[in-house]
């Protein structure tokens, strides 16, 4: 799901947010290319601290003013911040994490998204509109304060020739007793090699490793959204209602949020044990089956099995949260060498949010024209195609150094 997928429980607020969604999308379409250039010049921690300010400002605008115009302005600010954070945070995590735990830490990005969504669902179910805005502002303030104490990444410090500072940052991240010499030597070698290959974007993308990394990242982001996750989650309350569930829309949303957060937490624990490919293959294959069965139930209007749609939706959300939810964000931070990272990450995030907009806006027209069952079958087919994409093209990056990953990409190997 997109980071900005928070929900207002009031009908008027929800409608305004739907109208503002396109405006919000435009903000990070315009801002991500600039963000891609910024990250190549600035440290990711510095950029993240700066992006927290427009995010906080968006909630202040909502608290201070009312009406559609204020909401449009707030969503523009939030869209810029969310788009930038989505491009920078996975890169920052990948650069500070040791290869042995990079999968677990990288999956925390999606975990925090699901926890944030669940937090918003719970507060929104019990609080009025402005109280919800205030509750959403509080975590942003905590982030602003906490991130001032986060170190710059050792890789970035080495690119600036600040080796002593890079060693200090590494010791802060690994512990004062850590023997940093081998890791700092490896990072220095990667930085030196990157500086020798310094070139234009066009030259960078002539590299087989960079081209394949970009293809894989864009493909995973496309599969994540073309699986229909936002359409399924957005219409979960309708599915529950048609299945005969007595849950209110807010209660259904909370149930979905709990399931997504719990499954994403499980994914973070499994990421460095099972590997990325296994979770992606499990996720796409089971999602395809769940959506196909859900479409069949709707098409045949089956009686006496009202529980079946609920099971399909829950299974779909669980396996999405295990694989297709966190892994594309994690691998976006793993696949690119330093000179390709800025533009490639920006392109990946742009693709993701563009498809969020497309899927959300086309679900109802497609359902009206083709029938809801057919739409779910289309999503099922896209999930199956995603499983094929993963099986033949996506490499296993578990436990690999950045240099080893680049060598795999250059040679086309998947393991």
| Residue 396: alpha-carbon gap to chain centroid | 19
Q: Are the C-beta atoms of residues 339 and 199 closer than 8 Å to each other? A: yes
Average pLDDT over residues 84-103: 83
pLDDT at residue 144 is higher than 50: yes
pLDDT at residue 107 is higher than 70: yes
| CA geometry: angle 127, 144, 176, nearest 5 deg | 130
Looking at the chain, the whole-number percentage of residues with pLDDT higher than 90 is: 20
| Residue in the structure block whose two tokens are 């170190």 | 151
Contacts of 388 (CB under 8 A, 6+ apart): none
CA-closest candidate to residue 257, choices 110, 122, 106: 122
* Burial (Cβ within 10 Å: 0-12, 13-18, ≥19) of residue 273: exposed
pLDDT at residue 336 is higher than 80: yes
* Burial (Cβ within 10 Å: 0-12, 13-18, ≥19) of residue 59: buried
Average pLDDT over residues 122-151: 83
State the alpha helices, DSSP H only, in 275-371.
Answer: 276-300, 307-319, 327-334, 338-370
Among the ranges given (41-50, 70-79, 314-323), the one the predictor scored with the smallest mean pLDDT: 41-50
Average pLDDT over residues 152-159: 86
Domain 11-150+197-411 has CATH 1.20.1250.20: yes
Query: Taking the CA of residue 302 as centre, how many other CA atoms within 13 Å lie in the half-sphere pointing to its CB?
Result: 14
Q: Are the C-beta atoms of residues 279 and 323 closer than 8 Å to each other? A: yes
Q: Are the C-beta atoms of residues 113 and 353 closer than 8 Å to each other? A: no
Distance CA 39, CA 95 (A): 13
CA-closest candidate to residue 339, choices 174, 168, 206, 180: 206
| Residue 199: alpha-carbon gap to chain centroid | 29
pLDDT at residue 5 is higher than 60: no
Q: pLDDT tens-digit profile of 33-54? A: 444 444 545 567 777 878 888 8
User: What sign results for the dihedral spanned by CA atoms 233, 61, 111, 187?
Assistant: positive
Distance CA 96, CA 15 (A): 40
Question: How much is the pTM?
Answer: 0.74
Q: For residue 411, what is the enclosing H or E element?
A: helix 402-411
pLDDT, position 223: 96
Distance CA 321, CA 114 (A): 9
* Burial (Cβ within 10 Å: 0-12, 13-18, ≥19) of residue 12: exposed
Average pLDDT over residues 245-270: 82
SS3 204: helix
Q: Helix 68-96 crosses helix 327-334 at what angle (to 10 degrees)?
A: 60
Q: Which sequence spans correspond to the domains of the chain?
A: 11-150+197-411
Average pLDDT over residues 4-27: 41
CB burial readout 36-45, b (16+ within 10 A) else e: bebbeeebbb
Q: pLDDT tens-digit profile of 267-315? A: 888 888 888 999 999 999 999 999 999 899 888 877 667 678 888 888 9
**Percent helix / strand / coil, the chain, rounded to 5:** 80, 0, 20
pLDDT at residue 240 is higher than 80: no
Q: What is the mean pLDDT of the chain?
A: 80
Q: Are the C-beta atoms of residues 309 and 243 closer than 8 Å to each other? A: yes
């Amino acid at each position: 799901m997109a980071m900005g997928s928070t929900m207002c429980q009031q009908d008027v607020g929800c409608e305004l947010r739907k109208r503002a969604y396109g405006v919000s999308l435009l903000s990070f379409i315009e801002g991500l290319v600039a963000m891609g250039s910024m990250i190549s010049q600035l440290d990711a921690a510095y950029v993240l601290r700066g992006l927290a300010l427009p995010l906080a400002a968006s909630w202040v605008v909502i608290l201070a003013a009312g009406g559609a115009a204020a909401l449009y302005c707030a969503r523009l600010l939030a869209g810029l911040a969310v788009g930038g954070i989505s491009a920078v945070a996975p890169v920052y995590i990948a650069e500070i994490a040791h290869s042995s735990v990079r999968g677990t830490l990288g999956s925390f990005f999606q975990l925090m998204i699901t926890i944030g969504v669940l937090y918003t669902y719970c507060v929104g179910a019990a609080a009025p509109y402005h109280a919800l805005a205030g509750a959403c502002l509080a975590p942003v303030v905590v982030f602003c304060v906490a991130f001032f104490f986060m170190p710059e990444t050792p890789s970035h410090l080495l690119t600036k020739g600040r080796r002593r500072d890079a060693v200090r940052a590494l010791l802060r991240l690994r512990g004062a007793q850590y023997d940093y010499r081998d890791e700092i030597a490896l990072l220095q070698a990667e930085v030196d090699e990157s500086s020798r290959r310094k070139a234009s974007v066009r030259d960078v993308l002539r590299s087989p490793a960079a081209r394949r990394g970009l293809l894989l990242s864009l493909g995973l982001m496309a599969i994540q959204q073309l699986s229909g996750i936002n359409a399924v989650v957005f219409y979960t309350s309708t599915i529950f209602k048609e299945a005969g569930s007595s849950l209110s829309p807010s209660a259904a949303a909370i149930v979905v949020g709990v399931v997504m957060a719990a499954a994403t937490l499980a994914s973070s624990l499994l990421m460095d044990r099972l590997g990325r490919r296994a979770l992606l293959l499990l996720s796409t294959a089971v999602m395809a089956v769940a959506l196909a069965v859900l479409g069949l139930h709707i098409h045949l209007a089956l009686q006496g099995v009202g529980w079946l749609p609920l099971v399909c939706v829950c299974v779909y959300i669980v396996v999405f949260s295990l694989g297709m939810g966190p892994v594309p964000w994690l691998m976006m931070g793993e696949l690119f060498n330093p000179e390709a990272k800025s533009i490639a990450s920006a392109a990946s995030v742009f693709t993701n949010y563009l498809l969020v907009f497309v899927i959300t806006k086309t679900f109802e027209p497609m359902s009206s024209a083709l029938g809801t069952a057919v739409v779910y079958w289309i999503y099922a087919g896209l999930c199956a195609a995603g499983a094929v994409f993963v099986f033949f093209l996506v490499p296993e990056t578990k436990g690999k150094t950045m240099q080893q990953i680049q060598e795999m990409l250059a040679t086309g190997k998947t393991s």
